[in-house]
Amino acid sequence: MTLAIMGAMPEEIAPILEKLENYKTTNYAGNRYYEASYNGIKLVIAYSKIGKVFSTLTATTLCEHFGAKKLLFSGVAGAISHKLKIGDLIVATQLTQHDLDITAFGHPFGYVPEGAVFVEADKEMIEISKEVAKEMGKSVQEGIIATGDQFVANEERKNWIGETFGADALEMEGASVAVVCDALDVPFFILRAISDAADMDASFSFDEFLETSAVESAEFVMRMVDKLSR
């Protein structure tokens, strides 16, 4: 089985690559993909670069070119829910695009014809994540993650996204990865560590907590891989 692990930035996959003794680097479609054997399965790891377009390209490449049968995303996010603090982990149950707007044609925010406002993540991997959380002694929340091509650092915008979509966290890649995997029937799992509160201090918090939050997320994802490879 080929299993894909994806992040948006180098910092999000660096802790994963550090856990692998050897890997092969493949350059394809303007990006680098890292291939390795791990516990009898093939891993393909990549960071997409930031945003929905690059993450769509990378997720499609992982599935179609490298043959990934499951995809796990490890990264960071901004909190919307007051229950989420910096360093907390959230597993996406559903994902939505908060910046998709054709409401002028009578459609709800986040919707396009023949599409859906929300895409559901894989329930089996969510259940496995509960086992991992218990074994690691971590409290991991589940919720809706909203995606858009914006680094949100505005309280009003953050609150609007939370109210409109019932979202608990926001980031810039998850929903596009979800759309790709859903269309290609590839089960996917998206985990985010909270790096900021998506408010006026977000840019400061993000820089300060990016690496530590990414390590938290990556450690959890590798525990998931251990279970999936059995």
C-alpha 209/C-alpha 188 separation (Å) is 25
Q: In DSSP terms, which residues pair with 36 in a beta bridge? A: 43
Per-residue pLDDT of 9-40, as tens digits, reads: 998 899 999 989 899 999 999 999 999 999 99
CA distances, 227 to each of 51, 77, 129, 212, 221 (Å): 29, 25, 9, 24, 10
How large is the angle between the packed helices 52-64 and 174-183, nearest 10 degrees? Answer: 30
Out of 11, 12, 88, 182, pick the active-site residue: 12
Which residue of the set 88, 122, 196, 216 is catalytic? 196
- pLDDT attached to residue 218: 84
Is 173 labeled as catalytic in the residue annotation?
no
Question: Looking at the 3D structure of the chain, how many domains does it have?
Answer: 1
Q: Give the predicted TM-score (pTM) of the model.
A: 0.93
Look up the CATH number of the domain holding residue 200.
3.40.50.1580
Q: pLDDT tens digit string along 30-86? A: 999 999 999 999 999 999 999 999 999 999 999 999 999 999 999 889 999 999 988
Chain segment 166-218, per-residue pLDDT in tens: 999 999 999 999 999 999 999 999 999 888 776 656 555 666 677 777 778 88
What is the extent of the structural domain holding 139? 2-228
Is 12 marked active-site? Answer: yes
